[in-house]
Structure 1
Amino acid sequence: MEQRHIKGVLFDAFGTLCHIESPRLPYRLIMKRWGKGAADCYQAIMTRDVSLAEFAGEAGLSHEEAAFFEAHVAEETDSMRLFPEVPQTLQALRGHGLKIAVVSNLAKPYGAPFLKLLPFDLDACAFSYEVGARKPEVPIYRYAWERLGCAPDALLMVGDSLQNDYQAPRDLGLHALWLDRKAGSLESENGHVVHSLQGVLGYLGIG
């Protein structure tokens, strides 16, 4: 079975490993002010390794607006939490010798707080703001598999985005599972749907 050849697991971050308990959507203000439009702004937020102050300045926010923006980012990062099954799942995978990485579209302020939530250091991190590319762009996946030292067909991608974490990785030769916490529409997709991260252990035959 294909599971026996898996050497590492790539996870999405938000919606897969963690969530924000107090969402404030702070970047909406910057997106409204961004001269080149919301799409360009989103790309910049996700693929540039710059400070909150720099983004606020580029968007033309006042001092008061910038302070409001930064406070809401802080509220979000302070309320980041792992899903309950995550520590046990990650520990089980590590205990079976699998490499573990995260491939995530992420704005810079969320990277360090996310890593502090995890029970151990990852083998690789492909954060979009560090890589300069975001899912489903090919370079962010390649960045992860190269740092793990594994071929794509030796890796399993797991995440809650059907396109970014299932379809795009499979097109690149990775194995993939779609995490559908709400039990959606891919039930018949060859068993490649899980409703909790514990399903990853079952898929890999880890008790």
Structure 2
Amino acid sequence: MKGKLITVEGIDGSGKGTQAELLVEALKKAGKKVKMYSFPAYETTFFGGEIGAFLRGEFGTFDDVHPKLASILFASDRLEQKPALIRDLDDGFYVICDRYVESNAAHQSAKFAESERSGFIEWIKTLEYKVNQLPKPDMTFFLDLPIEFSKELVLKKKKRSYTDEKEDIQEAQHGYLEKVYHVYKQLEISESWLKIDCVNEDTLLPIETIHKIILNRVLSEQ
């Protein structure tokens, strides 16, 4: 039986990695075959290492690197891992991804004027899904975390492997995450993602509550 590709998306600080890991563990306990992929793979792929250099500012400032070039870096990291990902799906695994193609679309298109974003999103989809022929997700969960919560949670993140700074060059750019969030909201509507509101009446939902929502939805789709 063909496996399922499940992706977890959201702005920085929304808990994508945590929720992906919890889902993996819960599905394993339920007797499912599961693999997890985190993009970028900063420490395990050639292009993951180059993305770390980009985010540290080694290729220039935020404005120096054209979004197309940055997009190709992120897409190439996924392309490196494509053979293993395809093999796992063919072997019937649930493949859980912390970020996927749509992260590339949201983060890089946010660098354009609003009128140019939809065209660039289509360019990224062509690159990743048609040229690189990555499989499309069966389910995409969007962790909808308002920007005022995101900024605070980014600063509370543990030390990242690719930088010693509290924020990388994208996170530190004034107004950038707000634009990324706006693009994610547009994608959520146009792509019919499974949206999870991470805040209720100005209160952040418990991690376990969000996890149960995701798990129940995944298991109901068997």
Smaller-chain TM-score bracket: 0.3 to 0.5
Q: Max radius of gyration: which structure?
A: 1
User: Whose RCO is larger (CA < 8 A, sep 6+)?
Assistant: 2
TM-score (normalizing by structure 2): 0.36
